[in-house]
Amino acid sequence: MSFAGLLLVVTSALLFVNPAIPVISETKLVAAAEVNSGISQLATTLNHQAADSRYLNAKKPDGSEAILDLAIKPALIWSPLCDHCIEALSEVSKISPGSRPYIVATFTTDQTAVEQKMAECGLQGQDYYVVQLHPGKSQYVPALIFYKQDRW
């Protein structure tokens, strides 16, 4: 039985016990499973860029190499072309600067667009990094990735 099917059975059982629980359609469950699968694929893609899954290889805006230690803090992967990413950046701006995740832009080579979106979200002057991912993964951002027990 698929994850979505199992979740539908459990939801149906709970609904029988408590009819006040809202029904979740099977379509939404399958979509959630696809998103979870996509996030795993994104993490796998990023993992192949680093020799050790604890580290994320990225670039600084000046083009120099940076190695981000995901055991120290997570990384927010975002794109300036993504509306949901801009919402995530706005939320990150509410966190004290020392506690924020690494901010990692992707799916762009336009440094001006990255800095403009960050400024609009209250993150002007915040350090950021760039990772180029395959455009086919764009539906999986924003994503917050972190290192835990030898895996993302």
Give 21 or 58, the one with higher predicted confidence: 58
CA 64, 96, 150, 85 dihedral sign is: negative
The C-alpha atoms of residue 116 and residue 80 are separated, in whole angstroms, by 9
* Same domain assignment for residues 149 and 103: yes
4 and 15 both lie in a single domain: yes
Do 90 and 126 fall within a single domain? Answer: yes
Q: Which tens digit of pLDDT belongs to each residue from 118-133?
A: 999 999 999 999 998 7
100 and 72 Cβ atoms separated by less than 8 Å: no
pLDDT confidence of residue 31:
38
Classify 77 as helix, strand or coil: strand
Asked if 2 and 55 sit in the same domain, the reply is no
The better pLDDT of the pair 136, 77 is held by 77
> Same domain for 65 and 41?
no
Per-residue confidence (pLDDT) for residue 140, from 0 to 100: 77
**Owning domain of residue 39:** 1-48
**Mean predicted lDDT score pLDDT of the chain:** 73
On whether the CB atoms of residues 57 and 65 are closer than 8 A, the answer is: yes
Domain count within the chain: 2
Could you say which of 30, 48, 66 is where a domain stops? 48
User: Is-contact 108 78, C-beta < 8 A?
Assistant: no
Do 59 and 33 belong to one domain? Answer: no
Same domain, 104 and 43: no
